[in-house]
A and B are shown apart, each in its own frame.
Chain A
């Protein structure tokens, strides 16, 4: 339990640094996007700031998909010491 708490705290540090970097790039991109928007767009997501929406949506999609696949498709490794045991070789 103690180790888990420590690991989580350390992970937060790494994510914190990455968050700072990403926010800086996002801010730079947003500013440049609004400043340099010289051409029209064929729909709303192509307007300045639209890529920010797509990026945030992609992050939400990634997290949601990770949860769904983890819940539906993931099997713990410890219960399957030989995960490839049921394959063509066994039935050859």
Chain B
């Protein structure tokens, strides 16, 4: 039997290039075939490295399969397939290519076995994400793409510096070793991966890109970009204690910024930040269960957010805006879309029987000790807090009666089919989480989320959060739903810092101009004097006092030279 040792991501990258010249009606079959081929290559191999070559004295391993990248790879490829089905409603060769290239770059990065190839593939995925945002037909997407490119450039620079330091310090060019945060290169690579994962400060690229990308593009960027960051951290920096506070900060930040957001896709981006934060925090917990749950939670989060962003994308497509303040009566006008929205909200907050519930209960089990008590509280509290924008406020908005006329209709069938398949995966994983646990690196994981105490705890948590929120809302003590634009950290460098930069630039230009004018004046004066002096020298026969003095000085000098003796 012929053993094919090809990185599954290369198939997707190759197909992304083919898509340019593929007629519109054949693009979906090409994507489906490439995803099927990639999945076959992924599942038809035993764990281990293959395809190793040497380049410039460094080992380059193009395929290295293990449990960690397998679970991420399955999620990435299936998500790419779902997004392709969902996106096939429109003809946009550039965006289709960009999304598939993004998927291909991310999948390639998962399966390479050396650091240089990982950085190259990750940066390819980053540039493809930029291209995906550029390809969006929404207003200001090109500016958002430019901002994302800056983040990608910064991340790539940190990656390059980190890898250069790592290799020059004698480090191995392999992803099989765990890097030290304080080692040469380790800190830079860590910072680059934090940017990719959307750590506090860098979280703005995620909400910026997700709110400007197209419906399909936002799902693709949400899945392939930050999840690759989680994979990189899980691969290179497992059990790094610093990840625990960083992850917890992301959870709190995501929840705080999501609860008041009017733009549904930005709220989703913040909710994703919070869920990524949970993955990072679990990475910082030194226990096999927590490390195994990182990949399980990333897997469940991928499908939950694909569904959520697909549902919000349908609202965006049909109404032109995905804002809570404009979604009044959506439940009557587009019931299927509203159902998907609410189902997605239930999924993200970890309602029982749905995918994230399986990984959230595992996270609770992993953090069920005194040292990680705040992670234990945050895991539950953040899920319940995220229910406010993604479930409770949404419910009240979509089922609010409105007299406003609307011509909005349901999204096309193929989009509903894509969202339905994503919902099916969420339900399937939630109903039978055993196979997900089996896929995680901890192969001996024996955990049952459906025991009465765990289900009861989750029902109690979400029920009490909902009851509390509804009671306060009925007392009219919650903020009213109105169209607002919520500022974030990027408002600092896009607003005051830009103004300050412009002011400093103008001031510097003025100072420079003044300096130049001063020098011009000085040189003009010096030139005029020089000109006068040379003119004077050109008239040696005109007797002047200066000429007499000059003659006397020369005569004195000659006398000294001739007659003076030491």
Contact = CB atoms under 8 A, between A and B. Distances in A.
Given A7-B402, A84-B140, A87-B494, A58 B381 contact: yes
Give the residue among A13, A17, A59, A74 with the most B Cβ atoms within 10 A.
A59
B201 interface: no
B260 A75 contact: no
Contact of B487 (A66, A68, A75): A75
Question: Helix, strand, loop or mixed for chain B's interface?
Answer: helix
A51 B466 CA distance: 13
B472 interface: yes
B453 A65 contact: no
B464 A26 contact: yes
Given A42-B373, A43-B370, A63-B469, A73 B488 contact: yes
B469 A43 contact: no
A86 B498 contact: yes
A39 B385 contact: no
Contacts of B494: 86-88
Interface string B347-391: 000000000000000000000111001001100111111011100
A29 B461 contact: yes
B147 A88 contact: yes
B259 interface: yes
A84 B456 contact: no
A64 to B, nearest CB: 9
A14 to B, nearest CB: 4
B468 interface: yes
B418 to A, nearest CB: 28
Contact of A59 (B142, B384, B396): B384
Interface string B471-497: 111101111001111111000001100
Given A18-B395, A74-B484, A77-B485, A61 B467 contact: no
Nearest to B325: A77
Interface residues of B, number: 79
Contacts of B381: 54, 57-58, 61
Contacts of B140: 82, 84, 87, 89
B218 interface: no
B400 A36 contact: no
Given A66-B388, A74-B484, A55 B456 contact: no
Contacts of B188: none
Contacts of B459: 25-26, 28-29, 32
B256 interface: yes
Contacts of B462: 22, 25, 55
A79 to B, nearest CB: 9
Nearest to B396: A14
Given A7-B328, A29-B458, A29-B460, A69 B402 contact: no
B139 interface: yes
Given A7-B402, A69-B259, A59 B468 contact: yes
A9 B440 CA distance: 49
Nearest to A17: B399
A43 B370 CA distance: 7
A89 B389 CA distance: 31
Contact of A69 (B146, B257, B385, B451): B257
Given A24-B463, A55-B464, A63-B469, 4 more contacts: A29-B458, A59-B384, A59-B469, A62-B465
Interface of A: 3, 6-8, 10-19, 21-33, 35-39, 42-43, 45-46, 49, 51-63, 65-70, 73-78, 80, 82-84, 86-92
Q: Which 7 interchain pairs have the tightest Cβ spacing?
A: A26-B463, A29-B460, A22-B466, A29-B459, A55-B464, A32-B456, A59-B468
29 contacts: A18-B466, A19-B467, A22-B463, A22-B464, A24-B463, A26-B463, A27-B463, A28-B459, A32-B460, A36-B451, A38-B453, A42-B369, A52-B460, A52-B461, A54-B380, A55-B461, A55-B463, A55-B464, A59-B468, A59-B472, A60-B468, A60-B472, A62-B465, A63-B477, A76-B482, A76-B484, A77-B485, A89-B143, A91-B502
